[in-house]
Structure 1
């Protein structure tokens, strides 16, 4: 309901307006009445009406003074002037105070109602406009951080020109000005985080956003923007002077301590050099990223500087002798010596390829490739080992010790496979494994030979030599063994059992079943009762 206040020094006028108009059915509620100006002003303060219908000539304060004083105090309402004087001054003053109507007494109830409804309509439109503007402001405030983050990412990745950067910074109130710039990249120590945190993308996102806010709070005394980058948090610092290392260490140590205390996370940082050109910030990002990768070589250091990188591109050497030593230990199944040889291999990589993480990882992957190749030549089955996450683990790890652990775990698994394969031909084993998994399908000597990369004739020879049985007899034997288990289920029909184990013809199934068991499927089932 729209709230209406009536103010007039003639009680009979108030009575007439209140009773002669059907206010309720028109969505109007009379919330109060006043017979003098001071009372009217107090009622406006107390009741906050939407519309004030007020006489000009009243004791103490006239109607125009009431409206003027109330609006100076910040009260918002629509006003309608009542007057028995047809005076241009009062009409002009009413217009200055933005009154919607000026009614001359005596006025008819319909005139009063029309004036009030007009004021109500204006009021509702104003409220709709205000609500729309407020929604837009709310939406703008909600999306502003996302817009700023996108713009800052475009800056650090070199997508924007200097002119575009300056215009966007001004438009979105990004607090970076002329002077010098430095980029610091921050990551969590994911590998030491709890399992709950590591396995939940939603929690990772929540921790990232919390960290961004925490770092921004820690840098509130500096000109800095903190936002999410591609795979790290970016801190873009702007200053009139370059921070020396002691000052930067002090700032980042406080941030690191706060994150650890409040979020239980361990942060580490990569710090770029400084430059005085805003359009060169993307180069600083690359420097900070290179510095961040030093963590791969320095587990005990959490603040890493680009200035500490000393790359020597002429020393990318592969430790071939150490590789040969590892392979020899594998083929001899010498588990007790493999650990030391892995240590020697990895340490050699670190010594001769200082600060080149990707070459080191590539070298370890090359070693794995050499091992797999040797084992394949020796007919050693590594399928379940190679299909593990060893390659992904090596590519993702950021620490030297974890790299050695992954490599050693793989090598020990390989030794186990070599030991298992010493007394059985690997090709036959692979064929048996394939039959066990696919006996219910339409498999043949040719299809199995294709799976194990040999000719059908050679596979047939291997079966007779290693298992003392030909291929088809072995396949039938496996199928009949599976059928014997299925026949224990009285709900399965004979033809269903036949189909399940790979026979499309029930009669042929019965013949083969009797050949290997001496009984027909029906007789075998009855013997179980």
Structure 2
């Protein structure tokens, strides 16, 4: 450890002796300056603050004690050693007040100066080592305190209050910012789907979650007047905040929208948020957590990127019977399979749309129930498709097994798209064995030429000299997809090439026929399972 030292001494010969008779570098001391009076030394201290000051007491312009006093008053921190004569002990009390570390009686030999300076250097190094150790202990404590808080809060959202448990005292012991009043529990869920081609490392995911919680804390703290704790519970990101007085759902929703904007801006993340009703205190944290989970169920029907309050979730009525006993769905599925067998593909597409519409209108079915029903239907479709040698569909930038995608169906729209793609794949497999109707063929050529314009079903019907309804019906029958969905899929395929060429997303949306970037992004994600940004990132990483 090298220390900087300034020497202030008005006797030139004595000053030069201090500097030349000792090889200070050998002792880990760097001479930062030499001064012949107190005023000059003070300027040196201002310009190049030292660790040590070796100064005479009696000097012109500014004596040694005044030099130390003024330098410390200016905010400089250093250790000082006084050079003093036998008749100058009247300064001793003042020197003690100024925190002078040691003194030397003049005249003195070089080895005396070395001894005092090296003793002081050793004390400085020992003090710094102790400070480092203390800082390390503090950092370790703070890190462990954060982990301890996380563990405690995670336990509270899982379990009700135990007998003799005093959560208010625990909050004080671990320095939580929460108080004993009403609380609200919030749940943050990242909307981004995992890509099979590029999977973030565990370290990357941990860093993302860490950053997300920090941003959530900074953004939401004003809403809760600083009384907020953000934490992890498994892979879920939660917060507990003391319910803000005299506030409205509109004010809370405004803060949540700000959080969504911040995460989009800083981390390029889309999130869904669910929020509990007010609970009496942290003793009821588990109730708030369950309410947040229930509120997040609305995401399945309303889609990603939403803000869901438990009060809204509470309006849903419980299912009177299992989805497996839904007679109307059962009939639609039989119609679907019968239509596929008879090659009435228009009716098959209509049956899929009717099924999804029925489930959406009866949103009392849980996500797990819809997954179960979808799995049952996909197994039936898989049996049928095996005869046509159709084994996979493209989803999230790769060809995948249908059944494997059930857990990834986070919304009803996901279920709808996967089922539509399965039916479309079956129809395409059959259609490849025969020629397309000339009207459909002409319309496909029209789409290839004008997909980047404001092309509509009505315009396409006029160009091919048929009615809107006839063209729509013909498309479903020949391709297993309606006109508009086919147009969207074609635009998405064209946009992929532009994204691979690193075009800006807003530019790509214009080039493939979308006037709004938001509409393009939602359509792209619907038919690929990825946002345009995710697709572009995956391609560049590959």
Residues 274-353 of structure 1: pairs in structure 2 closer than 5 A: 274-299=278-303, 302-309=306-313, 310-316=316-322, 317-319=325-327, 320-350=330-360
The equivalent of 2:200 in structure 1 is 201
Query: What secondary structure does 1:297 align onto?
Result: helix
Structure 1 stretch 165-174 or stretch 268-277: which is displaced more?
A: 165-174
1:111 CA drift (Å):
1.5
Residues 430-509 of structure 1: pairs in structure 2 closer than 5 A: none
1:22/1:397 Cα in 2 relative to 1: closer, same or farther (>3 Å)? Answer: closer
1:12/1:160 Cα in 2 relative to 1: closer, same or farther (>3 Å)? Answer: farther
The equivalent of 1:251 in structure 2 is 255
CA-to-partner distance for each residue in 1:432-463, whole Å, 9 max, x for gaps? Answer: xxxxxxxxxxxxxxxxxxxxxxxxxxxxxxxx
- Whether 1:108 and 2:147 are equivalent positions in the alignment is no
Residues 113-512 of structure 1: pairs in structure 2 closer than 5 A: 113-133=114-134, 152-158=153-159, 166=168, 169-170=171-172, 174-190=176-192, 199-201=198-200, 211-223=212-224, 224-227=228-231, 229-241=233-245, 243-257=247-261, 259=263, 266-299=270-303, 302-309=306-313, 310-316=316-322, 317-319=325-327, 320-350=330-360, 354-369=364-379, 384=391, 388-411=400-423
1:213 CA drift (Å):
4.8
1:419/1:246 Cα in 2 relative to 1: closer, same or farther (>3 Å)? Answer: closer
1:290 CA drift (Å):
1.3
Q: State whether residues 183 and 284 of structure 1, in contact with CA within 8 Å, keep that contact through their aligned partners in structure 2.
A: yes
Give, in whole Å, the separation in 1 of the partners of 2:411 and 2:176.
36
CA-to-partner distance for each residue in 1:245-298, whole Å, 9 max, x for gaps? Answer: 333333334444555566665443222111121122222122112111112122
1:113 CA drift (Å):
1.9
The equivalent of 2:504 in structure 1 is none
TM superposition score normalised by structure 1 = 0.64
The equivalent of 1:473 in structure 2 is none
Structure 1 stretch 295-304 or stretch 109-118: which is displaced more?
A: 295-304
Q: State whether residues 80 and 101 of structure 2, in contact with CA within 8 Å, keep that contact through their aligned partners in structure 1.
A: yes
Give, in whole Å, the separation in 2 of the partners of 1:105 and 1:140.
49
1:22 CA drift (Å):
3.7
RMSD, aligned α-carbons: 4.4
Q: State whether residues 80 and 103 of structure 1, in contact with CA within 8 Å, keep that contact through their aligned partners in structure 2.
A: yes
The equivalent of 1:471 in structure 2 is none
Q: State whether residues 79 and 99 of structure 1, in contact with CA within 8 Å, keep that contact through their aligned partners in structure 2.
A: yes
Give, in whole Å, the separation in 2 of the partners of 1:49 and 1:389.
70
1:399/1:26 Cα in 2 relative to 1: closer, same or farther (>3 Å)? Answer: closer
1:17/1:207 Cα in 2 relative to 1: closer, same or farther (>3 Å)? Answer: closer
Structure 2: tracts of 5 or more residues without a match: 394-398, 433-542
1:244/1:110 Cα in 2 relative to 1: closer, same or farther (>3 Å)? Answer: closer
Structure 1 stretch 296-305 or stretch 256-265: which is displaced more?
A: 256-265
Q: State whether residues 188 and 274 of structure 2, in contact with CA within 8 Å, keep that contact through their aligned partners in structure 1.
A: yes
Give, in whole Å, the separation in 2 of the partners of 1:111 and 1:141.
45
1:419 CA drift (Å):
11
1:46 CA drift (Å):
3.8
1:47/1:272 Cα in 2 relative to 1: closer, same or farther (>3 Å)? Answer: closer
Query: What secondary structure does 1:103 align onto?
Result: strand
Structure 1 stretch 342-351 or stretch 359-368: which is displaced more?
A: 342-351
Query: What secondary structure does 1:273 align onto?
Result: coil
Q: Which has the larger radius of gyration?
A: 1
Give, in whole Å, the separation in 1 of the partners of 2:317 and 2:288.
17
TM superposition score normalised by structure 2 = 0.62
1:37 CA drift (Å):
4.1
CA-to-partner distance for each residue in 1:166-212, whole Å, 9 max, x for gaps? Answer: 45644665432232211232334436x9x79x945267766655654
Query: What secondary structure does 2:278 align onto?
Result: strand
Give, in whole Å, the separation in 2 of the partners of 1:122 and 1:80.
13
Q: State whether residues 6 and 34 of structure 1, in contact with CA within 8 Å, keep that contact through their aligned partners in structure 2.
A: yes
1:394/1:32 Cα in 2 relative to 1: closer, same or farther (>3 Å)? Answer: closer
1:38/1:237 Cα in 2 relative to 1: closer, same or farther (>3 Å)? Answer: same
CA-to-partner distance for each residue in 1:345-388, whole Å, 9 max, x for gaps? Answer: 44444555624221122122233445667x69xx9597946995
Give, in whole Å, the separation in 2 of the partners of 1:328 and 1:267.
40
Give, in whole Å, the separation in 2 of the partners of 1:333 and 1:83.
110
1:19/1:237 Cα in 2 relative to 1: closer, same or farther (>3 Å)? Answer: closer
Give, in whole Å, the separation in 2 of the partners of 1:21 and 1:401.
82
Q: State whether residues 175 and 225 of structure 1, in contact with CA within 8 Å, keep that contact through their aligned partners in structure 2.
A: yes
CA-to-partner distance for each residue in 1:26-73, whole Å, 9 max, x for gaps? Answer: 333444344444444444334423322233344555433433443343
Q: State whether residues 6 and 34 of structure 2, in contact with CA within 8 Å, keep that contact through their aligned partners in structure 1.
A: yes
1:127/1:209 Cα in 2 relative to 1: closer, same or farther (>3 Å)? Answer: closer
1:209/1:119 Cα in 2 relative to 1: closer, same or farther (>3 Å)? Answer: closer
Give, in whole Å, the separation in 2 of the partners of 1:99 and 1:257.
56
Higher relative contact order (CA 8 A, sep 6+): 2
Q: State whether residues 274 and 310 of structure 2, in contact with CA within 8 Å, keep that contact through their aligned partners in structure 1.
A: yes
